[in-house]
């Protein structure tokens, strides 16, 4: 069937069928990439952030889909798709870290940035060494932003100072 996407009723029908396809691919065929597309559909087309967040979280937890881990981490950080609009950086970090372990360069970037931030929540411990590892991994996966932040860490001496402090800790 062809659609005339200049006709409003055809666009609506196309989008409805797209939603059906994504639901079938996700819930019946259990395809992680299609589940992520369903989350994007719920977010972008339906503007249903609660359902989109649940799909991203489930897709990360159940299928280990890295992009969904990143997306749910973003939702958690911003408080999007949650009962409260207040963000949860600790939960966000958990999902960023999982996404990074699954080799998503943006999840590694966000993990590193959270750990190196001076305004890190009190429930988290600032860890420049671990942040350096995450940013390095992200940079090695060609994430230009991670490479930029890494270069700043090198130029400002943060890396050298951090490793000197760790070395002194080990020798005491």
pLDDT in tens, 122-160: 889 999 889 999 999 999 999 999 999 999 998 888 766
Q: Are residues 13 and 81 in the same domain?
A: yes
Q: Are residues 10 and 50 in the same domain?
A: yes
> In angstroms, what is the C-alpha Rg of the chain?
20
In the chain, how many domains are there? 2
pLDDT score, position 113: 96
Dump pLDDT digits (tens) for 66-78.
Answer: 999 999 999 999 9
- pTM exceeds 0.95, yes or no: no
**Are both 81 and 148 inside the same structural domain?**
no
Q: Which of 93, 117, 135 is the last residue of a domain?
A: 93
- DSSP per position, 25-92: IIIIT--HHHHHHHHHHHHHTS--HHHHHHHHHHHHHHH--HHHHHHHHHHHHHTTTSSSS---HHHH
pLDDT on residue 118: 85
Contact 32, 59 (CB under 8 A): yes
pLDDT, tens digit (0-9, with 9 covering 90-100), for 81-127? 776 778 899 999 999 999 999 999 999 999 999 999 988 888 899 99
pLDDT at 145: 98
Note the pLDDT tens digit of each residue in 33-59. Answer: 999 999 999 999 999 999 999 999 999
- pLDDT for the residue numbered 169: 64
Residue 83 CB contacts under 8 Å (≥ 6 apart), including other chains: none
Crossing angle (nearest 10°) for helices 8-23 and 32-44? 140
Residue 1 pLDDT grade (very low, low, confident, very high; cuts 50, 70, 90): low
- Residue 86: inside a domain, yes or no? yes
142 lies in which domain range? 103-164
Between residues 24 and 7, the one the model is more confident about: 24
> What does the pLDDT read at residue 168?
62
Same domain, 77 and 129: no
* Claim to verify: residue 48 and residue 129 sit in the same structural domain: no
Is 151 domain-assigned? Answer: yes
């Amino acid at each position: 069937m062809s659609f005339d996407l200049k006709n409003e009723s055809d666009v609506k029908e196309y989008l409805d069928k797209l939603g059906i396809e994504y639901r079938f691919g996700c819930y019946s065929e259990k395809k992680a990439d299609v589940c992520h597309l369903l989350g994007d559909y719920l977010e972008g087309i339906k503007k249903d952030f609660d359902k989109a967040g649940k799909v991203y979280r489930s897709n990360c937890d159940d299928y280990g889909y890295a992009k969904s881990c990143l997306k749910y981490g973003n939702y958690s950080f911003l408080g999007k798709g949650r009962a409260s609009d207040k963000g949860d950086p600790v939960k966000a970090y958990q999902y960023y870290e999982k996404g990074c372990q699954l080799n998503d360069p943006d999840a590694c970037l966000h993990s590193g940035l959270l750990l190196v931030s001076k305004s890190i929540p009190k429930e988290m411990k600032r860890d420049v060494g671990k942040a350096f590892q995450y940013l390095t991994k992200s940079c090695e996966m060609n994430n230009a932003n991670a490479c930029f932040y890494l270069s700043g860490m090198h130029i400002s001496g943060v890396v050298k100072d951090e490793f000197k402090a760790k070395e002194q800790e080990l020798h005491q």
